Amino acid sequence: MNSVDSVTSKELKIKPLNKEMNSFIVEVGDTSKTLHEAVFHKDGNTVTAMVLYDNSDSELLQNNKLITSKGMLNKRLLFEYKNRPPELYVLWQNVVLPSQFISFGKNNISVLIPKETRQLKESYIRIFGVNGNNLVMDLRVPLIYGIPVPED
């Protein structure tokens, strides 16, 4: 999308700043969440983005091992974690997957691979997790026709 008609969010207040330049102001209220969804709208199409808001003094660390990949079984991606992150988002092609695609166990999570992935040569699933110390983890799983492949 080169330009947008509007930007919306459940948790954030987003107001146009300069419509011609597609500039928006994001107001963050009293929140303990670190990741927020923002939805960009243009001519009936939407794109979802994750907005990171770190309201703490802690250092933001990337690629820590909050969640580790454990493989695939019955069209589900399998992951495990030591402590379940209080904030967890699963996206396919940068669109948040509905909760029915995600199953939680005591120390694991499984993600049903959407059937639409089988029609695309390349797509990916991403998992964002945030723990209580605002440590962010972004895990990306590339798919070729719905089958997970190692990244180069």
Per-residue pLDDT reduced to its tens digit, 10-51: 777 777 666 665 666 676 666 667 677 777 888 888 777 776
In 3-state terms the chain splits into helix, strand, coil percentages (rounded to 5) of 5, 50, 40
pLDDT digits (tens, 9 = 90+) for 92-124: 988 889 989 999 888 888 999 999 999 999 999
One-letter-per-residue 3-state SS of 72-131: EECCEEEEEECCCCCEEEEEECCEECCHHHEEECCCEEEEECCHHHHHCCEEEEEEEEEC
Residue 120 in any domain: the answer is yes
Give residue 39's domain range: 6-52
With tokens 């499984």, the residue in question is: 110
Sign for the pseudo-dihedral over CA of 55, 34, 58, 62: negative
At residue 104, the 3 state secondary structure works out as: strand
- What is the reported pTM? 0.59
Instruction: Specify the amino acid at residue 68.
Output: T
What is d(CA 8, CA 122) in angstroms, rounded to the nearest whole number?
A: 28
- Look at residue 137 in the predicted model and tell me its pLDDT: 72
In terms of domains, do 46 and 85 share one? no
Q: How many domains does the chain have?
A: 2
Task: Name which of 91-95, 132-136, 137-141, 144-148 the model is least confident about.
Answer: 132-136
- Look at residue 57 in the predicted model and tell me its pLDDT: 41
pLDDT digits (tens, 9 = 90+) for 44-86: 887 777 766 655 544 433 444 567 788 888 889 988 887 777 7
- Look at residue 106 in the predicted model and tell me its pLDDT: 85
In terms of domains, do 28 and 91 share one? no
In terms of domains, do 30 and 79 share one? no
User: What is the CATH classification number for the domain harbouring 132?
Assistant: 2.60.40
CA-nearest of 66, 52, 65 to 11 is 52
In terms of domains, do 43 and 91 share one? no
In terms of domains, do 20 and 80 share one? no
Judge whether 113 and 75 are in contact, CB under 8 Å: yes
- Look at residue 62 in the predicted model and tell me its pLDDT: 41
